[in-house]
Amino acid sequence: MQTTLRFDSLLVHGGLEPGPAGATSVPIVQSSSFAYETAEALEDVFRGRAVGQVYTRLGNPTTEALERRLALLEGGGAAIATASGMAAITTTVMTIIRAGDEILASSSLFGGTFSLFRDTLSNFGVTVRFIDPLDLEGFRSAINEQTRLLFVETVGNPKLDVPDIPLLAEIAHQAGLPLIVDATVTTPCLATGASLGADIVVHSTSKYINGAGTSIGGVIIDRGVFDWNSQKFPHFEQFYKKYRAFAFTARARKLVHKDVGACAAPFNSFLLTEGIQTLALRMERHCSNALALARILKRHPKVAWVNYPGLEDSPQHTIAGKLYGGRYGGLLTFGTGEKASAFKVINGLRLAKNLANIGDAKTLVIHPASTICADYNAEEKALMGVTEDLIRVSLGIEDCRDIIEDFEKALDSV
């Protein structure tokens, strides 16, 4: 029955199995390991002849319920929940690439992903080329014999640029390469991996999917549509023979995810399964609050510029409207011309919290240049669109009149 439900109903019911004593919330199975009556039964599970749990690093019933729901929400496939969004990205990339390989990545990435690609992976003989995600020809012409994957975000954070993902998918597929999409900022509500044509979708579930800022988590969704039977991926051969379309998930689960060990904690999986139920309602409010604040800031005499794809004069407006169903997300950025006044605005806010997160029910702000992007040089900051006066706002779900009053009062102090 579950696959026939519509999206908003899947948020509530997807992947849920009847719980003990009629429980309707997913039970928290807070156990590291799982016992079997006989040596034969455990051997069968280890050999894959029987389905069962062994050890929570490899799988856990609470986490599996979350994985089933997230896979259904992305339009089908298989999901692996991880300890964090960064764990999801690291596990995905390590499953696909080997030393000597190249990654083509968007130049406008979340800071942690940029640092993973620029600093950590380079120590393992992996080259990452950063390309403006709006420059489709740049992506096409940068593909060479060593390229193994393309990686982009649905909406760049904090640049808020909106690449044409379906066209990027075409470019990747023409070259026999998978497209990995980080859809944290848009969530499956604004567009699914299936509608975008992505092969693998990753999310930081710490953000909108959790919705209340209560735990860190991530997920990898393999849509099972990429052909891994290719000379580019000889390390997939044994998995392809047995698991065909799901060779990626098999290699990730049986090798990289198991060995890296960045598994989701059962309690966090429970919080996510609860939190995600209200995602569609929350996203509506995040988006409408963002549009309302963007319009007010746009007219404000003390505001130098506003960046929100939902504003009609945004260069991203048309493509964002097309890909995300006329909804433009809960993030906006604006500037007051200089760092000192940006700090004054942040210090003047009462309702909005100054912290390093997005996607909470509460409205959040941060000054990226001095915090999450402080380690980048001037050229990198420019590439990511991080100016000294930029304030990033993650709109919460409060009454938008209170949010607007908060920003108007804070701007008065400038």
Of the candidates 325, 317, 338, 322, the one whose C-alpha atom is nearest the C-alpha of residue 390 is 338
If one asks whether residue 171 binds ligand PLP (CB under 6 A), the answer comes out as: no
The total number of residues shown for the chain amounts to 414
Specify which residues 203 forms β-bridges with. Answer: 219
Stretch that binds ligand PLP, among 15-23, 110-118, 169-177, 363-371 (CB under 6 A): 110-118
* CB-based contacts of 326, cutoff 8 Å, min separation 6: none
72 or 83: CB nearest ligand PLP: 83
Euclidean distance between CA atoms 64 and 119, whole angstroms: 33
Cα separation, 343 vs 351, in Å, equals: 16
Could you tell me which residues come within 8 angstroms of residue 122 by beta carbon, excluding any fewer than 6 positions away?
128
**Side-chain half-sphere exposure of 157, counting CA atoms within 13 A:** 25
Q: Which of 67, 74, 102, 182 binds ligand PLP (CB under 6 A)?
A: 182
For the record, the structure tokens of 188 come out as 């499956």
CB of 111 to ligand PLP, least distance (A): 8
* DSSP state letters, 74-90: TTSSEEEEESSHHHHHH
Q: Point out which residues pair with 364 in neighbouring strands.
A: 353, 394
Q: Kindly state the smallest distance separating residue 319's Cβ from ligand PLP, in Å.
A: 18
All residues at 6 or more sequence positions from 370 whose CB lies less than 8 Å from its CB, including other chains: 339
Q: Compare residues 113 and 333 and give the one whose CB is closer to ligand PLP.
A: 113
Question: By beta-carbon distance, which residue lies closest to ligand PLP?
Answer: 85
Cβ 183 to ligand PLP shortest distance, Å: 8
User: Among 164-172, 179-187, 191-199, 220-228, which window interacts with ligand PLP (CB under 6 A)?
Assistant: 179-187
Site map (CB under 6 A) of ligand PLP, residues 351-370, x = contact: -------x------------
Rg value, the chain, Cα: 22
Binding-residue pattern over the window 112 to 141 for ligand PLP, x denoting contact by CB under 6 A = xx----------------------------
Closer to ligand PLP by CB, 134 or 185: give it: 185
Nearer Cβ to ligand PLP (154/387) = 154
Alpha-carbon distance of 161 to 408, in angstroms, equals 26
| Residue 282 Cβ vs ligand PLP, minimum distance, rounded to whole Å | 16
Contact flags string 183-222 toward ligand PLP, x per CB under 6 A: -xx------------------x-xx--------x-x----
Letters for 69-108 (x = contact with ligand PLP by CB under 6 A, - = none) are: ---------------xxx----------------------
**What is the spatial distance between Cα 218 and Cα 71, in angstroms, rounded to a whole number?**
13
Shortest approach of ligand PLP to residue 205 CB, angstroms? 7
Of 94, 93, 56, 75, residue with least CA distance to 268: 56
For the CB of residue 165, give the shortest distance to ligand PLP in the complex, in Å: 14
Pair of tokens at residue 46: 């280890």
Give CA–CA dist 205/71, Å, rounded.
13
CB closer to ligand PLP, 63 vs 204: 204
Which residue ranges make up the site for ligand PLP (CB under 6 A)? 84-86, 110, 112-113, 153, 157, 182, 184-185, 204, 206-207, 216, 218, 358
